[in-house]
């Protein structure tokens, strides 16, 4: 009988797949990073407990092209500065990706708020344009020109915070209490340039980052970098405290309550 592809894999196949994943080479991306100070009240308002604001109301947009073997990937994020148990890091609100493959592991393993979207990074001589778009709206756009090289920073460690959860089958909340994940990234940079330009935030009902306005532009760079990531669950989170923020994850929160039409299964 021919191999049934939905059938169980052998232990050897599972082990080989894990080993292949652990031997991935450095994958370098080229991208724009914009960091700005926003309104303290706005940044605090988007942080689910137990996350807390840091001493500075920062917002960061990453917009990158990733040279994955076999196909290019556009990847981005918009995150706000946050702290938990004395650890400072970033809480991403939205992470557009251009391929479904890039969504699955991040969402299901780490709880990353990844969604399919359009990611643009273009350079024509010194002129740079980068954007994150969904539903036909470029809700973040960086426009400017490279104005000179910057010193390459030493390798660094950065922490992102994610909430991993499963909506309840009856629409009442969650199947289990959500967990807070600390995702530690080790980042290396091989090239960094300064951009002189600006950040444009456009109104979008699906990705309302315009609620985090640019008050002071802190950093605007174009760089080449690579990173790995390791996640760990640090604590279970009260379902009641997280439920008011669940809409951050979905274009239409009502879909959490939608079951299959009667007779459709």
Give the integer Cα–Cα distance in Å for 69 and 63.
19
Please check the confidence at residue 98 and state whether its pLDDT lies above 90.
yes
Of 67, 58, 53, nearest to 34 by C-alpha is 58
Q: What is the pLDDT of residue 205?
A: 95
**What number is the average pLDDT over the span 111-127?**
96
What is the arithmetic mean of pLDDT over 26-30? 88
Of the candidates 157, 36, 162, 37, the one whose C-alpha atom is nearest the C-alpha of residue 91 is 162
Residue 264 has pLDDT above 70, yes or no: no
Specify the pTM: 0.90
Reported as a single tens digit per residue, the pLDDT across 39-96 is: 999 999 999 999 999 999 999 999 999 987 777 899 999 999 999 999 999 999 999 9
**Mean per-residue pLDDT over the chain, rounded:** 91
What b/e readout covers 32-49, taking b as 16+ CB neighbours within 10 angstroms?
bbbbbbbeeeebeebbbe
Secondary structure class of 70 (helix, strand, coil) = coil
pLDDT tens by residue, 209-256: 999 999 999 999 999 999 998 999 999 999 999 999 999 999 876 655
Q: What is the pLDDT of residue 76?
A: 97
Query: Exposed, middle or buried, 96 (CB in 10 Å: 0-12/13-18/19+)?
Result: buried
- Please list the alpha-helical segments (H only) found in 23-150: 40-45, 100-105
């Amino acid at each position: 009988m021919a191999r049934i592809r939905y059938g169980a894999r052998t232990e050897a196949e599972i082990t080989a797949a894990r080993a292949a994943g652990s031997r991935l080479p450095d994958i370098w991306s080229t991208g724009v990073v914009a960091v700005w100070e926003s309104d303290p009240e706005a940044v605090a308002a988007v942080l689910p407990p137990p996350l807390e604001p840091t001493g500075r109301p920062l917002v960061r947009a990453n917009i990158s092209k990733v040279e994955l073997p076999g196909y290019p990937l556009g990847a981005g994020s918009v995150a706000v500065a946050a702290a938990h148990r004395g650890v400072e890091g970033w809480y991403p609100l939205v992470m557009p990706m251009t391929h479904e493959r890039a969504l699955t592991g991040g969402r299901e393993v780490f709880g990353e708020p990844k969604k399919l979207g359009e990611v643009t990074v273009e350079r024509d001589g010194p002129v740079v344009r980068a954007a994150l778009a969904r539903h036909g709206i470029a809700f973040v756009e960086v426009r400017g020109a490279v104005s000179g090289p910057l010193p390459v920073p030493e390798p660094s460690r950065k922490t992102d915070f994610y909430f991993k959860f499963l909506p309840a089958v009856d629409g009442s909340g969650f199947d289990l209490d959500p967990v807070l994940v600390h995702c530690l990234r080790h980042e290396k940079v091989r090239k960094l340039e300064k951009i002189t330009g600006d950040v444009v935030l456009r109104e979008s009902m699906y990705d309302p980052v315009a609620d985090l306005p640019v008050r002071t532009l802190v950093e605007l760079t174009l760089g080449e970098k690579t990173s790995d990531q390791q996640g760990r669950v640090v604590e279970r989170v009260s379902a009641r405290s997280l439920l008011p923020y669940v809409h951050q994850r979905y274009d239409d929160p009502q879909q959490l309550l939608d079951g299959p039409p009667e007779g459709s299964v």
